[in-house]
């Protein structure tokens, strides 16, 4: 179990470092997140109109329940938006977000390590494939599901899927090298 714990920890560290490289060093962040024409004016309007933190949609989903016909009219007429609003400023990356992000990666790599321990696939390539397939399952349900379910633009979610799939590939190569099948003792 010690070997599995080390594998999960190293896998999380690898995924964490890859996240920095993918989103900060490589140009994906600036490509995916677009700038508005007059950002200060938009920020002032949001601060006035939406003083509480939260997720908001235009048209609002409460309209869907109270007046479905009006909701349909507004949705078809546009514009439509999904806003994640944080009225207060913050540092670019806080210790809480770094630790929380690493924690989720550690939880995910721990689950993948447990999967390898439970399944015990023989052969390095098969162990890599098990981790990749399990990671891809989450990617399809999460990253690639959002554009379909919520009609969100594809750019961010394709980049996120590419990040996660490449991250799971690196982690799979590492975990498969460390977590090997336990040899059963032959019966006498």
Question: What is d(CA 82, CA 70) in angstroms, rounded to the nearest whole number?
Answer: 18
Domain ranges of the chain: 2-34+93-178
pLDDT confidence tier of residue 94, bands split at 50, 70 and 90 = confident
pTM above 0.85, yes or no: no
Q: Tell me the C-alpha distance between 110 and 114, whole Å.
A: 6
What is the pLDDT at residue 186? 60
Instruction: Please give the pLDDT value at position 99.
Output: 95
Over residues 6-63, the pLDDT tens digits come to 999 999 999 999 999 999 899 887 778 878 888 889 888 888 888 899 999 899 889 9
β-partners of residue 55 are 84
Strands, E, within the chain: which ranges? Answer: 54-58, 81-85
């Amino acid at each position: 179990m010690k070997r599995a714990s080390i594998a999960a920890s190293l896998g999380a560290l690898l995924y964490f470092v890859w996240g920095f490289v993918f989103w900060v060093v490589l140009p994906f962040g600036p490509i995916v997140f677009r700038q508005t024409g007059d950002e200060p004016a938009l920020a002032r309007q949001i601060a006035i109109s939406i003083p509480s933190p939260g997720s908001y949609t235009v048209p609002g989903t409460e309209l869907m329940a109270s007046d479905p016909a009006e909701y349909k009219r507004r949705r078809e007429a546009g514009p439509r938006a999904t806003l994640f609003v944080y009225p207060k400023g913050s540092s670019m990356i806080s210790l809480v977000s770094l630790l929380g992000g690493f924690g989720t990666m550690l939880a995910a790599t721990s689950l993948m390590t447990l999967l390898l321990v439970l399944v015990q696939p023989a052969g390095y390539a098969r162990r890599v494939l098990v981790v990749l397939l399990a990671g891809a399952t989450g990617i399809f349900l999460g990253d690639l599901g959002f554009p379909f379910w919520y009609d969100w633009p594809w750019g961010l979610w394709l980049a996120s899927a590419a990040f996660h799939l490449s991250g799971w590939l690196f982690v799979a190569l590492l975990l498969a090298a460390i977590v090997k099948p336990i040899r059963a003792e032959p019966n006498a």
